[in-house]
Amino acid sequence: MAPDKRASVSVKAVLGDPVCLLAFGLGFGLMPVAPGTFGTLLGIPIYWALVAAPPWAYGLVLALLFGAGIPLCSVCQKRLGIQDHSGIVWDEIVGVLITLWGAEPTWRNVAIGFVLFRLFDVLKPWPIRLLDRRIHGGLGIMLDDALAGTFGWVVFRALEPLLS
């Protein structure tokens, strides 16, 4: 597989394949600039739909989305022939949902969670960068963003008393 995460892909190849359509966040990952940011934005309405659920149900949905993302992203990258293409944004959706888990549903909190997740996803501090480099396939795609989401969640929780 080609290592170029930003290699050009055919819109038809993505939109015409149900697996890649989902992995590319219903096409949000096709944005020519910052596809991960647009994929993260797609996580926001999903958060709003889940926010009233009990924490166990939110966690169950997260686990299901994470678990489904492993084969979904793996199959899509194999079909495209590009390892961890930047347009695969299912992982960003799950990552921002992790950061926002348990957050009070306000626009301010969503914005803070969004920024925190993107910060950790882009900067990839240790051990996120290590995972990104060493674990490949669908698990690797999902794992580094899940960890970035967890870092965002921890920082968000630490900031919460200051935000009240």
9 contacts 82 by C-beta, under 8 angstroms: yes
82 strand-pairing partners: 2
| Largest Cα–Cα separation, the chain | 48
Phi, psi of 20 (to 5 degrees): -70, -35
| Any domain includes 4 | no
Mean pLDDT of the 54-80 span: 97
Would you say how long the chain is, in residues?
164
Domain count for the chain: 1
pLDDT value, residue 84: 86
Per-residue pLDDT of 123-155, as tens digits, reads 999 999 999 899 999 999 999 999 999 999 999
**How many Cα atoms occupy the beta-carbon half-sphere of 157 within 13 Å?**
10
Q: Distance between CA 161 and CA 144 in Å, rounded? A: 27
Confidence of residue 6 (pLDDT cuts 50, 70, 90): low
pLDDT digits (tens, 9 = 90+) for 39-61: 999 999 999 999 999 999 999 99
Q: Is residue 113 part of a domain?
A: yes
Whole-prediction pTM value? 0.94
Domain membership of residue 77 (yes or no) is no
Q: Examine residue 76 and state whether it is found in any structural domain, yes or no.
A: no
Structural domain containing residue 139? 34-70+89-163
**8 falls within a domain:** no
Give, in degrees to the nearest 5, the angle at Cα 18 between 79 and 74.
40
Whole-angstrom distance, CA of residue 137 vs CA of residue 140: 5
- Domain for residue 84, yes or no? no
Asked if residue 18 belongs to a domain, the reply is no
Task: Look at residue 13 and tell me if it is in a domain.
Answer: no
